[in-house]
Structure 1
Amino acid sequence: MAMFDLPLDKLREYRPEVAAPADLVDFWRRSLEKARTDDLSATFTEVDNKLAVIDTYDVTYAGFGGAPIKGWLHVPARATGPLPTVVQYFGYSGGRGFPHATNLWAQAGYAHFVMDTRGQGYSAGGGSGTADDSPYAGLNHAPGFMTAGIGDPETYYYHRVFVDAVRGLEAARTSEFVDPDRIAVTGGSQGGGIAIAAAGLAGLAGIELLGCAPDVPFLCHFERALQITGRDPYGEITRYLKGFRDQVETAYRTLSYFDGVNLGRLATAPTLFSVALMDSVCPPSTVFAAYNAYGTASAREPAKEIQIYSHNEHEGGQTYQQAAQLDWFASILQTRD
């Protein structure tokens, strides 16, 4: 794959007009307030993860519509807490999987909370098993999740997922192992897009995050993505609109409520992004659009960094980025006076 998007100097200055709906904040405030009418009912049950240095707890809590959302909470073995915490969201098709599969941040000494993504998890298997049992899940859509309920922001698939993500923060904060004042969010691809959304919406739920670390994030600047890449998962939207030719304006209006450019503007926590300049799944210009807009609606724009991988595709930095995150989390999650 060659570099196909804007040159790096243009990407650094790329600030497109991504129109936010006038009721964006009110929409999300109402959504989170409605979610809180359901008892969070967060439970943490220790499981045998087959590991000697990590303890794992099977998590269940009430997400959008009161639906049960699964997760894992990993902590260093015999930890007593409260610990600085990293909350992780997964990429498209991913899920929490087996309890031994994803626990890097617990290895680094943090509490590590992972959220299953409703309806997904088919590439992870194992303990993934959170259903998307919403009546809107079966509305006309292209195969996949990107266009499920796209006719209205209320029914759109990511309305449910983003509420689940914020409720996951609330659930994590109820654990004895979690320091509620020292939480950061992270994720790659779809997980990066969810992390941006969680960072933007946390304040509406009264939660102050210390950091947001999205890797090669998805769900950013939808319109640009559809113009320059045919790769899935964005391609699902193209196929839908190829058939439903009269739904273009409606679809873009819905997507504007979930765009990482618009939600990232609301964030107040420092951020560490990553981008790969040969990424045709999440094109660099869509990532930079979100990065350059991140935190700009705040009274005081947060500190921002971006790691750039010039010759990589959607795999991004992988272990190089993990090394950068280990240093970054250590700097932002240290004990505050």
Structure 2
Amino acid sequence: MPLIDMSLEELKKYNGSSPCPSDMDEYWERALAEMKATDSKVELIPAEFQVPFAECFDLFFTGVKGARVHAKYLRPKNMDEKHPAILQFHGYSGNSGDWNDKLNYVAMGYSVAALDCRGQGGKSEDVGGVKGNTFNGHIIRGLDQSADDLLFRQIFLDTAQLARIVMDMPEVDETRVGAMGGSQGGALTLACAALEPGIKKLAPVYPFLCDYKRVWDMDLAKEAYAELKNYFRQFDPRHEREEEIFRKLGYIDLQNLVKRIQGEVFMNVGLMDSVCPPSTQFAAYNKINARKKMDIYPDFGHENIPQMMDRVYTFMMSL
């Protein structure tokens, strides 16, 4: 089997290279307290797109720092009993997608909520307010200020807040909520379940935002991770702050958050992934203490993988 990373035997033992801040737990407990103190001001607006068996809404809520955040929300019509729900998260720079691609879960009797990440391709608001690079680069956004200003802190909190909003919907059984997504969406799936322990099942696909130092050491700070190299070139060309930078990024490194996950995990990894290297994904997977399983695709990279989403759908059918 060709290799771009460690052997599979090594991957199964790998526990990451990036540091974990000593106050990681306190940092996220403080963040969650801020989120819970935020008045969500939820608004549901009927969407132009409608189908006979579902109701479709634009859902808006106020997240931390005052941003209005958008998600698509779909629910089945004419269901008298509470039912499960699925949260969906999109890839880096993308958006919540079309309405029609969520109807497979609605047809199964599930509600679906699909988040638009702040500052990316959807309708969510990015309130900004940081110095430094804002042209692109959400990983490094806020890096030159307090760790509380990291943009992915706010996006991670948005996922947990959306989960809580959906769980509180009168039609939803809050004990039967799942989360899923690929790449950045896989990362946000892990973040959501780490910050909202009520997530019962989660299916992250080749998750992004794991083990930044490993990405750097592999010289793969390009494509989705290009902003890491750009940051050093523009703001720390002699790497005098390298240790400090990777330590601060540790607050938004999923390998440092996944120990909080309580739901059942079904992760999917391609061993030829040069965008989100397999070792970075295993760094997170190996630290998950909850019930878990992984599907491994030896010949595939960061791409659509045959049969994978059918297997994710089957996994979610037992919510």
TM-score, normalisation: structure 1: 0.87
Match of 1:132 in 2: 126
The change in CA–CA distance for 1:15 and 1:63 in structure 2 (over 3 A counts) is same
Match of 1:6 in 2: 6
Q: Is 1:168 the equivalent of 2:156?
A: no
**Equivalent in 169, 182, 193 of residue 199 of structure 1:** 193
Give 1:316 deviation, angstroms. Answer: 4.9
Give 1:107 deviation, angstroms. Answer: 3.3
> What is the alpha-carbon distance in structure 2 between the residues aligned to residue 13 and residue 181 of structure 1?
33
* Pairwise CA RMSD: 1.9
Superposition pairs for residues 69-108 of structure 1, below 5 Å? 69-108=69-108
- Runs of 5+ consecutive residues of structure 1 not aligned to the other structure: 122-127, 296-301
- Asked if 2 retains the 8 angstrom alpha-carbon contact of 1:216 and 1:316, the reply is no
Superposition pairs for residues 143-292 of structure 1, below 5 Å? 143-151=136-144, 152-203=146-197, 208-228=198-218, 229-245=220-236, 246-292=240-286
Deviating beyond 4 angstroms after TM superposition, the runs of 4 or more aligned structure 1 residues are: none
- Asked if 2 retains the 8 angstrom alpha-carbon contact of 1:276 and 1:316, the reply is no
> What is the alpha-carbon distance in structure 1 between the residues aligned to residue 255 and residue 94 of structure 2?
23
Match of 1:47 in 2: 47
Number of residue pairs matched by the alignment: 313
Give 1:146 deviation, angstroms. Answer: 2.1
Match of 1:37 in 2: 37
> What is the alpha-carbon distance in structure 2 between the residues aligned to residue 63 and residue 80 of structure 1?
31
> What is the alpha-carbon distance in structure 2 between the residues aligned to residue 112 and residue 304 of structure 1?
23
> What is the alpha-carbon distance in structure 2 between the residues aligned to residue 231 and residue 268 of structure 1?
33
Per-residue Cα deviation, 1:69-95 (whole angstroms, up to 9, x for no partner): 100111234444521111111110111
> What is the alpha-carbon distance in structure 1 between the residues aligned to residue 128 and residue 228 of structure 2?
20
Per-residue Cα deviation, 1:269-296 (whole angstroms, up to 9, x for no partner): 110001011110001111111111112x
- Asked if 1 retains the 8 angstrom alpha-carbon contact of 2:57 and 2:72, the reply is yes
> What is the alpha-carbon distance in structure 2 between the residues aligned to residue 141 and residue 71 of structure 1?
23
Give 1:141 deviation, angstroms. Answer: 5.5
> What is the alpha-carbon distance in structure 1 between the residues aligned to residue 104 and residue 116 of structure 2?
17
- Asked if 2 retains the 8 angstrom alpha-carbon contact of 1:141 and 1:240, the reply is no
- Asked if 2 retains the 8 angstrom alpha-carbon contact of 1:274 and 1:316, the reply is no
Match of 1:310 in 2: 298
> What is the alpha-carbon distance in structure 1 between the residues aligned to residue 268 and residue 105 of structure 2?
18
Match of 2:64 in 1: 64
